[in-house]
Amino acid sequence: MDDRPESMHGATPGARDLVGSLAKGLGVVEILAGAPSGLRLTEVAEAAGLTRAGARRLLLTLVAEGYARQEGRHFLLSAKLLSLTRAWLGGSSLWAYAEPIMREVSQALGESCSAAVLEGEDVVYVARVAGRRIVSVSLAVGARLPAYCTSMGRVLLSDLDPAELARFLEKATIRANTPKTVTDRQALAARVAEVRREGYAIVDEELELGLRSIAVPVRARTGVIVAALNVSTQSARFSCEEMRQTILPPLIEAAAKIEDFLALQ
């Protein structure tokens, strides 16, 4: 018999499944995290919506367990939380962390969500969550597609300076996959420049008829684009404008969450 609580099977937990004191304690941790110079007991109680006595017990528990320290009247987080974070980061790859975020996007839209990096003339898939709807392009981690005619490829190419992009396009093998594929190198350079300005790319049936995709960059702390995140869909499902309105916002939000992980590296 499986005696795990229902919430571990994906059901929404009820109030009786939650530990209120733990939730309050985590709330206090979040409050202290926003005040590196520390807070007084009264300030913590007010910010957390607790009584002074309740806030005091939580703060003293955090101090006793080593997660906070007290300096005079002020309470501050300790380095123990940082050590826990580093230990977690050391055992968690970027794309293992990103996959649940990508799954949320996929489930919300009913479409596939993928991430890729640039390698030579191609994008290489490093993570993928398949959508509920079938598209003829079957892809998995490690799959390669040409960068010039894919939304993730154009996002990744947008991080090249004009001279680097010109060299890339001069050497790249470019062919018409469909009647809509842009093959003129100057036109491609202009498309990539547009992506650089707008911060996202939409590719409309250039890789395969009936397939549209939209992609955004994932940036490191330095601002360099380290990967691209996309959603691909059937052209009958979303127009390009509908992709901007419906898909782009959650895609940008997902990329920002992944960048939060990168900021801790």
Number of domains in the chain: 2
Task: Among 56, 85, 114, give the residue marking a domain's end.
Answer: 85
| One domain for residues 117 and 25 | no
| One domain for residues 72 and 111 | no
| One domain for residues 96 and 31 | no
Domain for residue 1, yes or no?
no
Give 166-219 as a DSSP string: HHHHHHS----SSTT----HHHHHHHHHHHHHHS-EEEESSSSTTEEEEEEEEE
| One domain for residues 157 and 68 | no
**Dist. CA 175–CA 39, nearest whole Å:** 62
- CATH number of the domain that 124 lies in? 3.30.450.40
Domain for residue 130, yes or no?
yes
| One domain for residues 169 and 55 | no
- CATH number of the domain that 49 lies in? 1.10.10.10
Q: Give the predicted TM-score (pTM) of the model.
A: 0.65
Structural domain harbouring 162: 92-263
Domain for residue 175, yes or no?
yes
| One domain for residues 224 and 109 | yes
CB count within 10 Å of CB 143 equals: 15
Task: Among 85, 115, 142, give the residue marking a domain's end.
Answer: 85
| One domain for residues 76 and 147 | no
Render each residue's pLDDT in the chain as its tens digit; 265 residues: 344 334 444 444 566 777 888 889 889 888 988 887 889 999 999 999 999 999 999 999 999 988 888 989 999 888 777 666 555 544 447 777 788 888 989 988 888 898 988 888 888 888 888 876 555 455 677 788 899 999 999 999 999 888 889 898 988 888 999 999 999 999 999 999 999 999 999 999 889 898 899 999 999 888 888 889 999 888 888 888 988 999 999 999 999 988 887 776 5
Torsion-angle region of residue 43: left (phi > 0), alpha (psi -120 to 50) or beta?
A: alpha
